Chains A and B, each alone.
Chain A
């Protein structure tokens, strides 16, 4: 590994023009040509001994017989492979630094309805998680408020706020942004028959009927809120709309009502999924399901309503004790075979680098390999309306690419180069630095 690191540095030194690009900086640079690589474009068959030309942050040419522009920096990728960068569609990237230290966590606002809060506002560009995640080949993510992860306040939102799509490079959030308002998070309520009372450190049981009543109340509140937002949006568009009393929360809902912004609905249980899909269908809202532990139970509904699913890590525990032990591992193929569009998400930040591993495990349990690869690249891009820019290696798209020594989904593969917005971006990070530091610690005297 140290050797890799040194040779990596050597390459950087040799291609001195790229020296500036090795940090987060995004500045205009010379053209780059990645040559002699096997290119998995995900928009056709892989190209053997191919070249990718990057110009002005975009993919200018892809193919076997592509001419290398004069003055381009050439990266010889003989024996290596090029893929679109991986896309993690549910993370708390930049919103949470150390899970248990609440001062470093900005994932979940208090209160039931927070459509106006936006992830991009609290994304810390210098978070140590960003370079660590990038080194695993993930080039862009959705940072989603109220998306789970580790939140010691255990707040429960209904409308959690706006999720932002970001590149994993940039000096400021503005430089990182792909779409500040990529989706509106809805944390679908659950039927909780058991709750933990922190004041007495005991578990409280509740009758199902009571829990169901609470659930119905919350769903009704959500329906009322959507109704309010609809009226507000209509009033805004009405002839005298500019004169109405403004409300930042309801205003933030307007794009959702107009069908321009999808709802990213967190739901795992069959009933939640069923109710959420029917709710969004009735309200004519665009929905992406996130979580989906029991999506297989509602696959017919999901397919018929065209709802895509971002699945939680496949390597988790099956939800019920009598579920098949590989229930979560076989679900991706079951959904794919049913005609449902799936993507994988880490639903985390420090475990984001397991994204490829999750997809690979689904492939090991029946999902076609190409579908596994697309489920961490093209499909999440499609779900958030970003596929004209990202998700494949095609001319005209943003040059978010990775160069690896093998299958980017497998656990032993090394990511050699990461390009974000066409810039060669460092795979160095806090963890690599600590490794180098302690690898060179002089032998301790005893």
Chain B
């Protein structure tokens, strides 16, 4: 299973990544991005509002990208585009609180144990096909995180899955940025040491704590130097010299000031409590514990700190710190008063987060509403965007997923996904467009092959042209590429579960 290989990939992701090469044509797969439609009426649907129960046969009116009305039978304005959703289920768009999609290259700046100076927002890749695939799984918002190679990782960004829009249009407007922390095996590099390579501090959970304490000690002093400076300037001092800007410490000061969320990767109960102690010492808040597979053991402490927990449905045993993971984790923490979400950490897993949430009904007995909240309203609250998204309420963004069955089942298939009242995914259209897409692909490949054959022929006729070729060695490259394109099944390495190389760029996840 691919998600298993991510663990291995951390080694690869330490410093290197294979840049995803995605041709522009993928942008056009399946769905054509409709221009924003000012007024949409979704009719006759079972509406799972998440915030105020289920409306059995109801309508949702969307105006200017926002939910304008929700209820029994609404009147369709004359200019409304009507979506008949009879027999279908509408939910708030799925929110994935832990994702690594839409990142160009490696998710880990793994050379240092504190990499707070780097920002995932700088390397968003709007052409990543995973955006479209997750959108087709009903996901509308994702928390894009740096990897877990470092005790203090990089800065993070919340995006909307606006497929087809440029990277600059992906970030969720106004969402507070975050920073990734990581505890346990990954930052201490337990599973990723290379023979002969020197150790990187830290290599123990003790050292992870001190790495974080040391960074915040610096940040506290740095903040004080700025506070002092600002005070002197405010007092009218003309010749005050500003402290030297420190790009590593700036984001940590934002954490201290509550302007940046801490999303901390963790597994074991001891490290969870460790971070809560450090947070208390320095006076910052841990917004979410990520993975937090042993969160159920210290649920009371997490709840008391007011931190959220974002976990997996049923992953376990892929490494030592995941051996006590239980599928009851989300339900148990919920019962103990923790705000819980279920996340993907994996592009493929994100396509069925509704099913993963449903498992808490079986494992721990959550109600239908509680289960659905795990992938809608709860992650919205955890990301501080619940005023905008997470439930079907008047005034919220029209980010919706429409399923053909109750979404808390393995039989539910997403039919449509809307973001900002705009239809970004339509299964019917996707299916209808496939033949044309395949034909275009075939035509292009044939054209390339023809051109290559002609070039070969021309080359065979005029061996004296060798000189010209030598002059322009660059020209040979595209020709080789074409050869590969003819055989799409051969152009990539095997994607068997074993070799880490095929998706080395996605490591750092687990």
Contacts and interface: CB of A to CB of B under 8 A. Distances in A.
Chain B associates with chain A: yes
Interface of A: 1-2, 97-101, 128-129, 132, 148-152, 154-156, 187, 190-196, 198-199, 201-203, 208, 212, 266, 268-271, 291, 293-294, 297, 313, 315-322, 324-326, 346-351, 353-354, 356-357, 360-361, 363-365, 409-414, 431-432, 434-435, 438-439, 441, 443-444, 446
B332 A325 contact: no
B365 interface: yes
B410 A357 contact: yes
Contacts of B15: 201
Interface stretch (B33-41, B208-216, B498-506): B498-506
Given A195-B493, A270-B489, 7 more contacts: A149-B497, A150-B7, A319-B495, A324-B434, A432-B328, A438-B297, A444-B301
Nearest to B14: A201
B359 A411 contact: yes
B491 interface: yes
A193 B301 contact: no
B191 interface: yes
B72 interface: no
A412 to B, nearest CB: 5
A208 B483 contact: yes
Given A196-B501, A208-B490, A411-B358, A439 B1 contact: no
Contacts of B441: 322
12 contacts: A99-B4, A155-B498, A201-B14, A203-B12, A321-B129, A325-B30, A351-B315, A354-B314, A363-B411, A364-B412, A365-B413, A444-B300
Interface in B322-342: 322-328, 331-332, 335
Contacts of B328: 1, 431-432, 434-435
A435 B317 contact: no
B64 to A, nearest CB: 29
B449 interface: no
Given A353-B314, A438-B297, A152 B133 contact: no
B410 A360 contact: yes
Interface stretch (B243-251, B347-355, B388-396, B461-469): B347-355
Contacts of B297: 438, 441
B496 interface: yes
B304 A444 contact: yes
Interface stretch (B21-29, B140-148, B253-261, B283-291): B21-29
Given A1-B364, A100-B320, A203-B504, A156 B132 contact: no
Given A193-B493, A361-B410, A154 B498 contact: yes
B459 to A, nearest CB: 17
Contacts of B500: 154, 196
A203 B8 contact: no
A12 B316 CA distance: 29
Nearest to A101: B320
A408 to B, nearest CB: 11
A411 B413 contact: no
Given A148-B497, A199-B194, A411-B409, A438 B490 contact: no
Contact of B494 (A151, A190, A201): A190
Interface residues of B, number: 96
A411 B191 CA distance: 32
Given A364-B412, A410-B410, A1 B363 contact: yes
A106 to B, nearest CB: 15
Contacts of B16: 201-203
B11 interface: yes
A194 B30 CA distance: 30
A98 B136 contact: no
A196 B320 contact: no
B296 A438 contact: yes
Nearest to A319: B495
A194 B501 contact: yes
B218 interface: no
A99 B317 contact: yes
A150 B491 contact: no
B232 interface: no
B270 interface: no
Nearest to B358: A411
A203 B297 CA distance: 41
A191 B488 contact: no
B326 A434 contact: yes
B205 interface: no
B57 interface: no
Contacts of B221: none
Contacts of B191: 100, 152
A201 B315 CA distance: 28
Residue with the highest number of chain B CB atoms closer than 10 Å, among A192, A356, A412, A443 = A412
B453 interface: no
B104 to A, nearest CB: 14
A322 B352 contact: no
Residue with the highest number of chain A CB atoms closer than 10 Å, among B5, B327, B491, B496 = B496
A192 B494 contact: yes
Contacts of B493: 190, 192-195
A149 B4 contact: yes
A196 B504 contact: yes
A315 B412 contact: no
B354 to A, nearest CB: 9
A348 to B, nearest CB: 5
Contacts of A434: 296, 324, 326, 328
A13 to B, nearest CB: 22
A202 B22 CA distance: 21
A186 to B, nearest CB: 13
Interface string B382-421: 0000000000000000000000010011111100000000
A196 B499 contact: yes
Given A198-B11, A411-B355, A297 B319 contact: no
A203 B501 contact: yes
A383 B400 CA distance: 43
Contacts of A325: 29-30, 132-133, 136, 351, 430
B361 interface: yes
Residue with the highest number of chain A CB atoms closer than 10 Å, among B133, B190, B490 = B490
The 7 closest A-B pairs by CB, nearest first: A190-B494, A360-B410, A196-B501, A444-B300, A100-B319, A148-B497, A435-B328
Nearest to B355: A411
Contacts of A293: 495
Contacts of B498: 148, 151, 154-156
Given A293-B495, A434-B326, A320 B412 contact: no
B167 to A, nearest CB: 18
Contacts of A100: 7, 185, 190-191, 318-320
A411 B357 CA distance: 9
Nearest to A100: B319
Nearest to A127: B317
Contact of B26 (A266, A321, A353, A356): A321
A291 B316 contact: no
B362 interface: yes
Contacts of B22: 321
B446 interface: no
Interface in B417-455: 430, 434, 437, 441
Contacts of B1: 313, 316, 346-348, 351
A438 B332 contact: yes
B495 A268 contact: yes
A6 to B, nearest CB: 13
Contact of B318 (A326, A350, A410, A439): A350
B315 A315 contact: no
Residue with the highest number of chain B CB atoms closer than 10 Å, among A193, A411, A438 = A411
Residue with the highest number of chain B CB atoms closer than 10 Å, among A195, A316, A347, A357 = A316
B408 A412 contact: yes
B362 A413 contact: yes
A414 B328 CA distance: 13
Residue with the highest number of chain A CB atoms closer than 10 Å, among B132, B297, B304, B493 = B493
